[in-house]
Structure 1
Amino acid sequence: MFLSRRSAVTAGLFSVALTIPNWPDVVGRMEMVRRGSSPRMGMSDVETVIAMTERISELDDQFGGRHARPMAAAFLVNTVAPYLRADATDAVRKAMMAAASDLCYLTGYMAVDEGLEGLGQKYYLKALELAGASEDHLTYCTTLRGMSVQAVDLGHGSSALRLANSAASASPQAGPRMRAFLAGQQAHAAAQSGDTSDALRYLKEAEAAMDKAESREKSFGSYDPASLHYHISHVRYELGDLPGAIDAMKESDKLCYEIYRRSRVKERATLAEFQIQHGHLESACATWNQALDEYSLVKSGRVDRRMQRMVGMIRPHLENQHARSLYERARTVIPPSLLA
């Protein structure tokens, strides 16, 4: 059930204003999307944007943001922006703004994947603006969570937790899968912030919600057991439980759908980092080799950073045959600019 426009732009969004630096008030911002001279827009145009967003998302999952984001950005400028200015009924205009919000969120996510953090935030803020104006509750909460993911990846645990909590508070009637999606991120952010009790409480909520969601239906393309185990792994890592983090990340890798190549490469590299920190050098080398198997197919700044870290972490161990073999292979696969 969606919030009314007034509640979305006042009660819910007001709490967000406290968590995002320089948050532009979205009250009245829908008027910024003015009607232009474009042809009349219909629901078929909305469906085109939705379908295009789904296809771009699939490309992002398989090949990384550096491949897919330019396509999304061009589609936003050349197609979606004129749609937003076109003549339409209120219902169609609202649906188009919701579709545009989802595409802005995806484009921001891909910008962050490239390592363009500031650009990603700009797209996220535009997604929030359009979601609030169109009463698109799902994209609104998803975008806040995406901003929390960005913050936690940058090591800003307190900001990540505030954003994750804002996403959860703006979604009081979320279904079990959405609740797991939000609580898993709350758990990760709380753990990074050093709040052990809340991290474990949120993680328990995520696990219970996922059990309910999985008992109702299997859902491809949304928060799933692999994603939950990813969060379990990071919570355990932040709390100092390396063996638990390794086990959970292995389970996440085992459950990961084939289409999610970028996530698989990144998370295998993360698993290898956990393994080498735990003193399991040869296991780490084997896992890194698995990541390298698909690395050349993925164009992602986040994955590139993982590969840079891999090279730095194995250099002290080059007397070991497995580490030396991995290092030599990496030099043939990873761009020289990342090896410097």
Structure 2
Amino acid sequence: MDEIIDLGRLDMDPSRRSVLGVGLFSVALAVPAWPDVVGRMEAAQRGVRTRIGMSDVRTVAAMTEQLSSLDDQFGGRTARPLAAAFLVNTVVPFLRTVGPDDVRRAMMSAASDLCYLTGYMAVDEGLHGLAQRYYLQALELAGASEDHLTFCTVLRGMSVQAVDLGQGPVAMRLADAAAAASPQAGPRMRAFLAGQQAHAAAQIGDRRSALLYLQEAEVAMDKAEARGKVFGSYDPASLSYHTSQVRFEMGDVHGAVAAMEESDRLRYGIYRRTRVKERAILAERQLATGHLEAACKTWGLALDDYPQVNSGRIDKRMADMFGLIRPHIRNHDAQALYERARETVRPELVPA
């Protein structure tokens, strides 16, 4: 509990947030296994309230959902201080308050989900050491509440963080751990897990496993979609993204472009931050295949939404864009994009 308070207070205080960048991603992080944390109920420490009920659990779950929506639309930099403040000022006191065992478990499960989301927002800002600390707290709370779904989701999120940093072996280990911890997963969850296993396997050069996992994800997605579409869960747009990443890791850049275009076409409009980030990735790959004008158009679409999103990952993509476009600056489209970007992105990203 003290670790959650320390994390949240540091994260919500603007005067101390510069300290957060010190922690780096650790490839040797000790990740607890499900048997190590399951049922670990902490002794209740009495807070201001005398008891908690299911209405308090619903409050935490509803706020987490709203914070997730803010993150989707406006980026982690915007939403994370709000999440940290809610965690410290509301959720921790709930966790320290007595209540029936089923309510306590439900509250720890809800708190786990919020810690995971806050860690994901830290990833979006590029604060990878901080994100890992939030993720570990989420795993502890998920185990204590016997919440298999969140436990697996957190492990998968840690795998996503690792694969995006080029740490393929770590990403594979975490993706496999997530799948092993969820033996009773339904088809949508299985697609969610297998898609990440495919990406990690492709990054470590295990082509056979990558294709098998991708096929498994596709079959599972077909089954899930046949049961009904579910907004806010792993969906065909997400699977197309994983298909693109697998193809790219295996050297099929043209196939990666086609799959990323499909992902962009299928994505719900509310996911603005993801749309900007993945359009920037698509543009980079279009340029790599020699389609300069198409790349400039896609980067232009990303710039349309950029002012509304505050994201470290997107800022890095935009900074990279300047370097990629500069050699083509005599091209009319490239020059127009370059000048527009100089007027649109944050000043510190513009090359001197």
Tell me the amino acid that sits aligned with residue 58 of structure 1: S
Q: State which of 13, 29, 35 in structure 1 corresponds to 2:45.
A: 35
Task: Check if 1:131 corresponds to 2:139.
Answer: no
Alignment match, 1:275: 286
Structure 2 runs not aligned, ≥5 long: 1-26
Out of 266, 270, 275, the position equivalent to 1:255 is 266
| Alpha-carbon distance, 1:242 to partner | 1.1
**Aligned counterpart in structure 1 of residue 69 of structure 2, from 38, 58, 70:** 58
Partner AA of 1:21 in structure 2: L
Asked if 2 retains the 8 angstrom alpha-carbon contact of 1:29 and 1:129, the reply is no
Runs of 4+ in 1 over 4 A off after TM superposition: 24-29
Structure 1 stretches of 5 or more lacking a match? 1-18
Shift in Å, 1:336: 1.9
Residue 205, structure 1, aligned to residue 181, structure 2:
no
Q: TM-score, normalised by structure 2?
A: 0.89
Structure 1 residues 92 and 29 mapped into 2: Cα distance closer, same or farther (>3 Å)?
Answer: closer
Task: Show the counterpart of 1:15.
Answer: none
- 1:339 Cα shift? 1.9
- The question of 1:21 aligning with 2:32 is answered no
Letter paired with 2:216: E
Whether the 8 Å CA contact 1:33–1:84 is kept in 2: the answer is no
Shift in Å, 1:37: 3.5
- Aligned pairs for 1:208-223 (under 5 A) are 208-223=219-234
Q: Tell me the amino acid that sits aligned with residue 221 of structure 2.
A: M
Name the Cα RMSD after superposition.
Answer: 1.4
Contact map agreement 1:196 1:239 (CA 8 A) in 2: yes
The 2-side partners of 1:121 and 1:255 are apart by 31
Distance in 2 of aligned mates of 1:98 and 1:27: 13
Distance 1:134 1:28 in 2: 7
Distance 1:272 1:201, change over 3 A: same
Query: How many positions carry a matched residue from both structures?
Result: 322
Alignment of 1:106-255 (within 5 A): 106-255=117-266
Q: Which amino acid aligns with 1:246?
A: V
Measured at CA, do residues 102 and 268 of structure 1 come closer, stay the same or move farther in structure 2, by a change above 3 Å? Answer: same
Aligned residue for 2:47, secondary structure, equals: coil
The answer to whether the 8 A contact 1:275-1:283 is kept is yes
Amino acid at match of 2:282: L
Return the match for 1:290 from 301, 307, 316.
301
Structure 1 range deviating more: 25-34 or 138-147: 25-34
One-letter amino acid matched to 2:29: P
2:317 aligned to which of 282, 292, 306: 306
Structure 1 residues 202 and 313: CA distance shift in structure 2, 3 A: same
CA distance in structure 2 between the partners assigned to 1:253 and 1:178 by the alignment: 21
